[in-house]
Amino acid sequence: MTKRIALIGSGLIGCGWAVVFSRAGWDVAFHDIKPGRADQAVEDTKASLENLESCGFLESAADCAQHLFSVKSLDAAIEGATFVQENVLETPEEKLTVFEELDRKVPKDVTLGSSASTIPASAFTEQLEGRERCIIVHPCNPPYLVPLVEIVPAPWTAQATTDYCIKLMTDVNLVPILLHKEMYGFVLNRLQVALVNEAMHLVGKGVASATDVEKTLKNGLGLRWSFMGPFQTMDLAAPTGFKEYATKFGHSYRNMGKELGVAEEWSTDAIDQVDQFLRDEVPLDKLKERGQWRDRKLMKLAADGED
Amino acid sequence: MTKRIALIGSGLIGCGWAVVFSRAGWDVAFHDIKPGRADQAVEDTKASLENLESCGFLESAADCAQHLFSVKSLDAAIEGATFVQENVLETPEEKLTVFEELDRKVPKDVTLGSSASTIPASAFTEQLEGRERCIIVHPCNPPYLVPLVEIVPAPWTAQATTDYCIKLMTDVNLVPILLHKEMYGFVLNRLQVALVNEAMHLVGKGVASATDVEKTLKNGLGLRWSFMGPFQTMDLAAPTGFKEYATKFGHSYRNMGKELGVAEEWSTDAIDQVDQFLRDEVPLDKLKERGQWRDRKLMKLAADGED
């Protein structure tokens, strides 16, 4: 029998999941409370599948597309679902509303995942009867090319639920990591926010232009980080490895850490400068094409990563 | 006439510069106060050049190697130098000692660069007669494959010195960025420290294993950052771009920023966990080979980046 994922919420994240699961042979049911959005999601997902096929990253986009369905109601979406993944707005209230309905209606043996990117499951599942089958499964964007996925159980999530998700994500070719404690922002977004907030801070303070800060990642830090993490990068930056590096530079990291502007709000000026830089690079009406360009670059990286 | 760079300090950073400049046809004079170190630098640089050649990234390692010289004294190093680059220990005292001697001995029309990675030039050039020709030229590691370089003038650095360095770095195929204000850690290391400190914090708190935090970069955040900066990444994470993203997620970045552990010291436990993870991956005696593996990965990225 074909497995089936119900996607509750069919925006950018829902479409990403649809590629991942249809590629793995699952049926995908899109639902969205916004009229027309689920139909649009089928079209957007097809475009992504075709982009993958055209780059040789998928045998048949058409075969995958046959697995995609848009449905009118939540009830129709969850009917026969093997796994349910929620992708609605990032607020505890929205998540709670959806999870209450899902927990009432979905058979007890089906896992309920949430794409929450910052809010832990304990913020919206505590009162649910089936809270032990609720868990955060937070993907990257786009998940079919950036394979990391964060598995974040709440304190009451069953071990079996966690185990199921880790296996499921591996089966659909993603790279799961497991969080042992809930923490706002999880791992990925905390790391991202640390860097992005300091980047906004430096632009706002006039230390460097948005163009130059962007270059610092793409011509500098980001190159190594695409195949090694921060730890191995440090390991190779001192002749006898990380311990030497920590001894030599640890104090400098500590001193700098205290001076960073990561807790400061993004200034209006910094937002405007960054926006100006981005619009000069890519006009708004070319953003969708730029997304496909990004996907093609990621496909090259994925191909290189295999050897 | 062949141009000549004098490298004062011949460790890892000095060797990186030697590849960059010998590749561009410059003569390279290595000096180091540590006996034998300059000779070793010639050998290490040759090995890097050969690695580049074997991957088709350099026509002739032997041709480049002919430009490398080890000299016994600082006087011999600076004789006939077109440009002088200091790469000694990262302390204001060490830098000051070297710069005092350089400023006394090197002809006034020659620029004195420093590879300082965190300390601004004003911390060790204020009292020098020729302080207007002193400037930070901070490379990545390794600079011949990670092309970003930070140009950081002190308040008294001459505009001509800054202009010369930007042109020089472009000429030797690096990607210079210009800092308009001095700030401890400059741009690159502030961004790196923001992320690394939070990574160490998460490992120390037991939120995720060192392995999983490492994966978060190399299978997640770092993939996009190898060809787009943080700003374009956000631009493509909302259907109508960065302004929408900032409106939707700005408050979340602000809230998370306040909770990050970037100002905290690396715990001994976190250091040990990271070290254990790294040594399980690559034993200490294989670290040099791992550096060559990293270089080959970076060469692939550079080749991909060209289209």
Segment B257-277, tens digit of pLDDT: 999 999 999 999 999 999 999
- Least CA distance to A225: which residue of chain B? B222
Span B241-262, mean pLDDT? 94
Instruction: Give tens-digit pLDDT for B150-163.
Output: 999 999 999 999 99
Looking at residue B179, its pLDDT comes to 98
Predicted pLDDT at B218: 94
Between A40 and A288, the higher pLDDT residue: A40
pLDDT, tens digit, 9 for 90 and up, residues B49-104: 999 999 999 999 999 999 999 999 999 999 999 999 999 999 999 999 999 999 99
Residues A152-201 pLDDT 10s: 999 999 999 999 999 999 999 999 999 999 999 999 999 999 999 999 99
pLDDT band for position B280 (cuts 50, 70, 90): very high
Residue A300, pLDDT score = 87
- Across the interface, which of A145, A177, A218 has its CB nearest the CB of B226? A218
For residue B307, pLDDT beyond 60: no
The predicted-structure confidence for B162-216, as pLDDT tens digits, reads as follows 999 999 999 999 999 999 999 999 999 999 999 999 999 999 999 999 999 999 9
Residue B25 confidence (pLDDT) above 70? yes
Backbone dihedral angles phi then psi of residue A135, each to the nearest 5 degrees: -160, 150
Runs of H (alpha helix) within chain A: 12-23, 37-54, 61-65, 74-78, 92-105, 122-125, 159-171, 188-204, 210-216, 222-225, 230-235, 242-259, 268-281, 287-305
Helix A188-204 and helix B242-259, axial crossing angle in degrees, nearest 10: 110
Which residues in chain B touch residue A150, judged by CB atoms under 8 angstroms apart?
A: 216
The interface pTM score, or ipTM, of the predicted complex is 0.95
Which pTM does this prediction carry? 0.94
Q: Read off the pLDDT of residues B125-137 as tens digits, 9 standing for 90 and up.
A: 999 999 999 999 9
> What is the arithmetic mean of pLDDT over B15-33?
98
- Contact call for A184 and B255, based on CB within 8 A: yes
pLDDT of residue B306: 53
B214-232: pLDDT as tens digits: 999 999 999 999 999 999 9
CB atoms within 10 A of CB A269: 12
**Percent of chain A having pLDDT more than 70?**
99
Average the pLDDT over A229-246 and give the result: 94
How far apart, in whole angstroms, are the C-alpha atoms of residue B305 and residue B145?
12
**Homologous superfamily of B188-305 in CATH?**
N-(1-d-carboxylethyl)-l-norvaline Dehydrogenase; domain 2 (1.10.1040.10)
Flag whether pLDDT at A305 surpasses 70.
no
A303 pLDDT above the threshold of 90 = no
Q: How far apart are the first and last CA of chain A?
A: 35
pLDDT of B2 higher than 90: no
Nearest to B145 by CA among B20, B59, B264: B20
A-chain residues within 8 Å CB-CB of B224?
146, 222, 294, 298
| Angstrom distance (rounded) from CA A6 to CA A8 | 6
Chain B residue numbers touching A224 (CB-CB < 8 A): 146, 222, 294, 298
Residue A229: its chain B contacts at CB < 8 A?
A: 199, 213-218, 222
Q: Helix (H, G, I), strand (E, B), or coil: what is residue B114? A: strand
Mean pLDDT of B282-293: 93
Specify the pLDDT at position A306. 53
User: What is the model's pLDDT at position A292?
Assistant: 87
Can you say how many angstroms the Cα of residue A227 is from the centroid of all Cα atoms in its chain? 18
B interface mutation test: which of A140, A211, A218 has the most B CBs within 10 A?
A218
Res A45: pLDDT:
97
CB contact under 8 A, B260 and A12: no
**CA distance to partner chain A, nearest, from residue B108 (Å):** 29
Look up residue A120 and give its amino acid: P
Instruction: Tell me the domain boundaries of chain B.
Output: 4-178, 188-305
pLDDT in tens, A245-276: 999 999 999 999 999 999 999 999 999 999 99
What is the pLDDT at residue B305? 67
Taking an 8 Å cut-off on Cβ atoms, the answer to whether A243 and B275 are in contact is yes
- Residue of B63, B75, B77 whose CA lies nearest to B4: B77
Nearest to B256 among A118, A234, A274 (CB): A118
CA B195 – CA B261 distance, rounded (Å):
10
Can you give the length of chain B in residues?
A: 307
Query: Distance between CA B256 and CA B273 in Å, rounded?
Result: 25
Contact B213 A187 (CB under 8 A): yes
Q: Which of B93, B98, B130 is nearest to B114 (CA)?
A: B98
Which CATH architecture group holds A189-305?
A: Orthogonal Bundle (1.10)
pLDDT tens string A95-144:
999 999 999 999 999 999 999 999 999 999 999 999 999 999 999 989 99
The residue assigned the tokens 């490298």 is B7
Dihedral sign from CA coordinates of B61, B175, B306, B221: positive
Determine the distance in angstroms separating the CA of A3 from the nearest CA of chain B, rounded to an integer.
26
Could you give the CA distance from residue A57 to residue A63 in angstroms, rounded to a whole number? 14
* Angstroms from B257 CA to nearest CA on chain A: 4
Contact (CB<8Å) A177/B212? yes
Q: Is the pLDDT of residue A203 over 80?
A: yes
What is the spatial distance between Cα B277 and Cα B232, in angstroms, rounded to a whole number? 32
Annotation: CATH topology of A4-178: Rossmann fold (3.40.50)
